[in-house]
Amino acid sequence: MTAPILALALILDAWLGEPDWLWRRLPHPAVLMGRLIGRLDRRFNRAPAAKAAGIVMTIGLAIFAGLLGYVIHLIPDYGVLEVITVAILLAQRSLVDHVGAVAKALRRSLEEGKAAVAMIVGRDTAVMQEPQVARGAIESAAENLSDGVIAPAFWYLIGGLPGLMIYKFANTADSMVGHMTPRHRDFGWASARWDDLLNLIPARLTAVLIALTSGWHDPRPVLRDAPKHRSPNAGWPESVLAPVLNVSLAGPRSYNGRMTDFPWVWPEGRRDPGPADIEAACRALWRAWAGMLALSLLITAILGLTTGLGPGGG
């Protein structure tokens, strides 16, 4: 059963996070995924067949990832390796640590805050002021809660290790080649669309978990603001976290020296967030994590009760 293993993995990841002593000696699985995708990009991303090659790569990675997950699942170790594998591929503790580091740095100085947020966002940070730094950290918290925690947990519940591996390879490919740059516009098209599809339900589940665990019960601003986001999925957790914190998110920001005017999410909120708001976002991440853990335990209990009431049970 995947639910009890997920519950253990969520706890293990929250406890240990990403231990430096281990990943200084061994490459992280996400790094290995990235190396493979980078090699495929360099080898096959060539006009005029770049789009077709990207489609073949996306299908091939899904098949390879599913088979890899299935092989690991078959190893007879009473589920220990599976728990460890799932925990490694979750990122709750790492996410909270990286987002929280921005708040700590920003309390020391604006320059340190900009350096810290540059580790987790892709926008230009040199021209940022304190509200822009805080907003970037909060938006990263919302989006990566979905991508790095809830989505992998969801796909593990649905498809076991094959489902989790398929998702992680897809998400890694999207982060590497799924951008609308001249180099990856064609080759990364399939990766971006595949990642959008796999995140369709988890992003909305993330929004529900943030709302329920933070006491936000009004869906109207979420339904109003989420569709405005440039991503079909990232807007959902952001559009819930914004009113929970009463902070306006999105809005104007600079990429590669060019200012882009995105619509505001929760425009009614404050536009001067600071370190305290980042810390409040981290607390919201932990509440949503607890909601996912509770869901896993609930499924475990229901399945246990169902098994106990089946033939021969009781």
* 8 or 78, which is more confident: 8
Residue-averaged pLDDT of the chain: 94
Banded model confidence at residue 259, pLDDT cuts 50, 70, 90: confident
pLDDT tens digits, residue range 213-241? 999 999 999 999 999 988 899 999 999 99
Pairing state of beta strands 249-255 and 258-265? antiparallel
* Cα 192 to Cα 178: distance, rounded to the nearest angstrom: 5
Instruction: Assess whether pLDDT exceeds 80 at residue 39.
Output: yes
CB-CB neighbours of 209 under 10 Å: 25
Rounded Cα distance between 127 and 24, Å, is: 33
Pick from 251, 236, 35: nearest CA to 142? 236
What's the pLDDT score for residue 255? 80
pTM, 2 dp: 0.94
Query: What residues pair up with 179 in beta bridges, in sequence order?
Result: none
Output DSSP code: residue 220: H
Band the pLDDT of 311: cuts 50, 70, 90.
low
Rounded CA-CA distance 178/188 in Å is 4
**Statement: residue 139 has pLDDT above 70:** yes
Whether the predicted pLDDT of 309 surpasses 80 = no
pLDDT in tens, 87-117: 999 999 999 999 999 999 999 999 999 999 9
The two tokens of residue 299 are 């499924």
Q: Check whether 295 has a pLDDT greater than 70.
A: yes
Alpha carbon dihedral 53, 55, 59, 61, in 10-degree steps, equals 60
* pLDDT at 314 (0 to 100): 44
CA distance 138 to 222: 16
